[in-house]
Amino acid sequence: MNRWLLVVTLLALNSVAYAPLVSAQTAPDSAKPAPATEPPAPFAFADFSWAPGNAGASERPLTMGPFIGELRVDDVYHYSLAHPADNTISGSSEVFRHGEFQLTQLGIGGDLLYKHAMARLMTQFGLYSQTTARNDASPGAGQWRLDDAYRYISEAYGGYHFDALSGVNVQAGIFMSYIGLWSYYNADNWTYQPSYVSSNTPWFFNGMRVQIYTSDKLKIEPWIVNGWQSYGRFNKSMGTGGQILWRPTGSISVVGNQYYGKDAYGVPDRKRFHTDDSFMAKYYDHPDRTITRAAFSFTADAGCESGGGVTASSQYFLGFMAYNRLWFNHDRLGLTVGGGAITNPGRYLVLLPPVNGATAFSGTPYFTENPGDPYKAWDFQVTGDLMPSPFVTFRLEFNHRHANVPYFSGSGGVTPPGGNQGAPGSLVEGWAPDLVHDEDRLSAAMLIKL
């Protein structure tokens, strides 16, 4: 297979990088050695476009020589049945405004592979450039406004490919996290709004990783990163972790992600542990029938923090999400049903509502994140997709979410009259946000991936 075609095929697989390169040198036929057996390309033995995070066409029309271009557009209209007065939707990493057409992301970039050197860039213009950066408290440790420096970048890394085993890649920069299973890019997923174990866990890491493909079915990937979804370090220690991805057949995918770090800003003795593990299976595949494919996913997360005034028994995270997906009419229609639940005493992974402009660094007295503060939540989603081509998805989704404490935007909203006042997240005399226990929402999105 042509090496560039092989690269294009592999890029359609989430969390899979590049195939081994072949030598560009040539020699007369009489001088050529006997052809060596080339190791099989990682995960290229089957079509995994059914798996969460892997949606999209294998064809890449923006390819120009060694550069494989990529364009993403995520335009959406959300409608909250609470009708918040300030049009602000809280408690989500993907959903932000009510009753408006909004551009969640416009991403332009691609992948470059040339003589073993590799690089990837993907921009994030639109709401992601503001909303993702506000969830990182690490810019509070020092100068240079890291949230501004990186806010328009979702991925930017370089690396080198080694022809060892079935391929080894060493990469450094900002790369996507796999914790939570769902991709950061909504076009790649079965739903627009993921459940809590995905929405509340990292979307990116800033650091270094080594992708070791021991065979075409197994990847081992250690990380060393600045911290838990952070542009900088929270304390004096780096975070560490890794992924093991195993796909024994074309119908099964198993992934495990592990993490350890010290990510409580200003509390250097507090340690964080997290495990995130998913099982995915395609249990039906008949392309010529009305229902063409069917698959399910199950993800379980567990974690805790200890030290610095908390214990693992009182400050922990437990959660799961499960989904079932059906494809119809030659994969032009899709239907997904699922949801999940979490409990997170201490709220150390709960997304902070943007009350009076609050950020992860500022905090807010209107929604505290003190040791032992209770938080339990569950949600349910139904998603319908129309995919007239592999490059475009029209998505309609209903979400119901519930929390045991007031958390979601009610009709009064989370913005003081006349706009944000004082320091971000601060108290405003005579005013309180309207936070409620339940949220019901409809979303209509147009998702383009070229």
User: CA-to-CA distance for 297 and 399, rounded, in angstroms?
Assistant: 18
31 located within any domain: no
Q: What is the pLDDT of residue 82?
A: 97
Two tokens at 125? 């213009």
Q: What is the pLDDT of residues 419-440, one digit of tens each?
A: 999 999 999 999 999 999 999 9
Domain membership of residue 314 as a residue range: 3-20+38-449
Q: Is the pLDDT of residue 383 over 70?
A: yes
> Taking residues 10-16, what's their average pLDDT?
41
27 located within any domain: no
Say how many domains are in the chain: 1
User: CA-to-CA distance for 82 and 406, rounded, in angstroms?
Assistant: 13
Question: pLDDT confidence of 54, banded at 50, 70, 90?
Answer: confident
Q: Is the pLDDT of residue 210 over 80?
A: yes
> Taking residues 388-416, what's their average pLDDT?
97
Q: What is the pLDDT of residues 70-100, one digit of tens each?
A: 999 999 999 999 999 999 999 999 999 999 9
32 located within any domain: no
242 located within any domain: yes
Q: What is the pLDDT of residue 38?
A: 67
Q: What is the pLDDT of residues 21-43, one digit of tens each?
A: 333 333 334 444 545 566 778 89
- Strands annotated E in 286-407: 291-306, 316-328, 333-343, 376-389, 392-403
Q: Is the pLDDT of residue 224 over 90?
A: yes
Taken as a whole, the chain contains a residue count of 450
Q: In 3-state terms, what secondary structure has residue 389?
A: strand
Q: What is the pLDDT of residue 24?
A: 32
Instruction: Give the sign of the dihedral formed by CA 5, CA 169, CA 47, CA 195.
Output: negative
161 located within any domain: yes
Average pLDDT, the chain: 90
Q: What is the pLDDT of residue 30?
A: 42
CATH number for the domain that contains residue 128: 2.40.160.10
CA 218 to chain centre: 21
Q: What is the pLDDT of residue 140?
A: 87
25 located within any domain: no
Q: What is the pLDDT of residues 237-280, one digit of tens each?
A: 999 999 999 999 999 999 999 999 999 988 999 999 999 999 99
233 located within any domain: yes
29 located within any domain: no
Question: pLDDT confidence of 7, banded at 50, 70, 90?
Answer: very low
Q: What is the pLDDT of residue 37?
A: 61
